[in-house]
Amino acid sequence: MARPESIEVLLVEDDEHVRLATTQSLKLAGLGAQGVDSAEAARAWLTPGFAGVVVCDVLLPGDSGLQLLQTLREQDPELPVILVTGHGDVGMAVEAMRDGAWDFIEKPFSAEHLVEVVRRALAQRRLVLENRRLKAQLGAGPADGLLGTSAAMEQVRTLIGTLGPARVDVLIHGETGSGKEVVARALHAASGARGPFVAINCGALPESVFESEIFGAEAGAYTGASKRRIGKLEFAGDGTVFLDEIESMPPALQVKMLRVLQERSVERLGANTPVPLGCRVVAATKVDLLALARQGRFREDLFYRLDVASIALPPLRQRREDIPLLLSRFCAQAAERLQRPVPGWTAAQLADWQSRDWPGNVRELRNFAERWVLGLVAEAPPSAPAVPAGTTLPAAPLDEALAAVERQWIVQALSESGGNVAKAGERLGLARKTLHDRIRRLGLDVEAYRSG
């Protein structure tokens, strides 16, 4: 007996010969199909969130196909129900479509026509369920502010959960725009500290005021210092100080920062009495600090003092499966702020956006979302590869052509990795679960590609 999660098409047909022949045609087309002989039997398969579509004959023993349609419409108005009608029932079927049927097929029908209609309905169903999933995630909203369900982001969350309460100093590695401050704030939230989160961009502070800003100064410590100034480290209390672009810290002050971290105390400029340091320090960098230190451009001892624990934040191109969720959140935020409707997008557009490298990472994607909401994004973006003149487009519908290319890439990756799904996922830039889902949807047998 087929598992409910493997069923893409539930066929409701009381004629056993027709049911078996139709189910076989669907399976030969690579679709997971299950046949039942009544509306009552169908309801046992149609659990909430059923990921497939229903193909149902109108004339059935017991409840009719129209009665089943009405029941399913009440449970899930967006579940595609395709009615199968006799020649004299077309008018009734058209009326049923007004009542919510997705489409109807008139007997006798060819297997090719049935498969075509079912594939279109399945594509629509997948979009609906994906939108529901995204809305549910957006509605819940992660408490730590980190969006994404990829394996890479789950690992980051695990580290935050472990390191947050420990209150050790942390060094965050990540490219520009990848969300290093978001991670730092999540660490602060996970620490349970009552003190504030104090963010400092080391690259934006002039060297002339850096020392007084960070460490503080007594009145008269320098020209113009008319009163005592409490530095950021002292002001943070038992909170968190976030030192972004730590590689930009002036060399002369790196020595003082090293001493502060070692002694866990700070001396204001012009003072002789140390003040205990209660805050945690989280530093962030977009460069390889150790390599920088070995070039003599950053203190190696300060690097090791900062690097008590580290978090590597993945760039967006290494977690492409998170792009739909991020884009949905950013568009919703932009639409609310700009008082604009949230625009939709097609599957082809989303596939294009997921294929991009996004060198500016999450920040670039957020800016793109704002332009999309404002209607400033061209339908054919300059970064999209142009179709060479004279190119013959595939005869198949776009969705089928894309599915064929997807299948080819996955098959090649599985072949090259000897059937190792994890390695194939790395080659394709997909999380293992995501690749497993696509392999199951395409009906591929991983065992056929295993080495030895």
pLDDT at 2: 56
Q: Distance of CA 222 to CAs 232, 332, 336, Å?
A: 18, 49, 48
Q: For residue range 63-120, what is the model confidence (pLDDT) as tens digits?
A: 888 889 988 988 888 899 999 887 666 677 677 777 788 888 888 889 999 999 999 8
Question: CATH classification of 398-449 is 1.10.10, yes or no?
Answer: yes
Do 151-314 and 317-374 come out as alike in CATH topology? no
Q: What pTM was computed for the model?
A: 0.55
The residue type of 222 is: Y
Q: 281 forms bridges with which residues in the sheet?
A: 241
**What's 448's DSSP letter?**
G
- What is the dotted CATH code of the domain comprising 151-314? 3.40.50.300
d(CA 323, CA 150): 10
H helices, E strands: number in the chain: 18, 12
Q: Domain 317-374 is of which CATH architecture?
A: Orthogonal Bundle (1.10)
Cα angle 392-397-134, degrees, rounded to a multiple of 5: 125
What are the boundaries of each domain within the chain? Answer: 4-139, 151-314, 317-374, 398-449
281, burial (CB in 10 Å: exposed 0-12, middle 13-18, buried 19+): buried
From first to last of its 452 residues, the chain has per-residue pLDDT tens of 555 567 899 999 998 999 999 999 999 999 999 999 999 999 888 887 788 999 999 889 888 888 899 889 888 888 999 998 876 666 776 777 777 888 888 888 899 999 999 998 998 888 788 767 656 554 444 444 578 888 899 899 999 989 999 889 999 999 999 999 999 999 998 888 888 999 999 988 887 788 888 888 888 777 777 788 888 999 999 999 999 999 999 888 899 999 999 999 998 888 888 899 889 999 999 999 999 999 999 999 999 999 989 999 999 999 998 898 888 888 888 888 888 888 888 878 888 898 899 999 999 999 999 999 998 886 543 333 434 444 444 444 555 556 666 777 888 888 778 888 878 877 787 777 778 778 877 778 777 777 54
First to last CA, the chain: 31
Pick among 3.30.565.10, 3.40.50.970, 2.60.40.420, 3.40.50.2300: CATH of 4-139: 3.40.50.2300
378, burial (CB in 10 Å: exposed 0-12, middle 13-18, buried 19+): exposed
pLDDT at 383: 38
Residue closest to 106 by CA, chosen among 124, 92, 120: 92
Residue closest to 202 by CA, chosen among 334, 306, 278, 339: 306
What b-and-e string marks burial along 121-133, b requiring 16 or more CB atoms within 10 Å of the CB? bbbebeebeeeee
Contact 55, 65 (CB under 8 A): no
